[in-house]
Amino acid sequence: MEPLQCGTSPIVGFRFSLHPMTGDFIQVIKGALRETDTTNVWMHTDDVSTVIRGRQLHVFNAAKSIALHAAKTGVHVAMSGTFSVGCPGDSAGDAYLDKGDELLNTDTSKQYVSSQFALYPMNNPDYMAIIYREVERAKALGVYNDSMHYASGIHGDIHDVFAFYEEAFANARTSENAHLVMTVALSINSPSHGGGSGA
């Protein structure tokens, strides 16, 4: 078998799970996936997670919309997932790269989210400088929340948080080191937000 090469495809993927803290979790998960316009991304759901793949702008647009639709139920919901680009072998089925620039999910409703992220610039010897640069950018933008082991806290309105994540994901890869992984964990409608004592 040929060794897997780092793909040169610009296809971006996001594999994520929603975990709504409610007995009606099936409705919240399925509703959020159904109500989002996913025409511009390739999507597949299984018993553990969902993956969306396509151009960066459409993957982030669909991801934000799915989170926002789940949030609108008012239920406390967790979204955790991994963005990836330049992944070895991730070059097949690139039909979705032909999609245009028009964003299909345009809901601008406000929604507070608290989250944590971690960047993994694969095979890049300057990876710590890249990570620090993005954390500094979060501070300048006012979405930085906290530093912690293995991740950095990002919070604020969902549109600001996703805009930061999309830009961090774009900034943290280079043409020489095109394989990048970013993990995110979002908490929405938590009774803990704002220093409450809930879970």
Tell me the residue nearest to ligand VIB as measured from the CB.
50
Q: What is the smallest separation between the CB atom of 198 and ligand VIB, expressed in angstroms? A: 22
Closer Cβ to ligand VIB, 71 or 130, answer by number: 71
> Which residues contact ligand VIB by CB under 6 A?
16-19, 25-26, 29-30, 45, 47-50
CA quadruple 5, 58, 76, 143: dihedral sign: positive
Which CB, 36 or 111, lies closer to ligand VIB?
A: 36
To the nearest whole angstrom, how small is the minimum distance from the Cβ of residue 18 to ligand VIB? 4
Q: Least separation, in Å, of the C-beta of 20 and ligand VIB?
A: 8
**Shortest distance, position 27 Cβ to ligand VIB, whole Å:** 9
| 108 annotated ligand binder | no
Beta carbon nearer to ligand VIB, 32 or 130: 32
Instruction: Specify the residue, 16 or 83, whose C-beta has the smaller distance to ligand VIB.
Output: 16
Asked if residue 104 belongs to a known ligand binding site, the reply is no
* Residues annotated within a binding site: 18, 50
Binding positions for thiamine: 18, 50
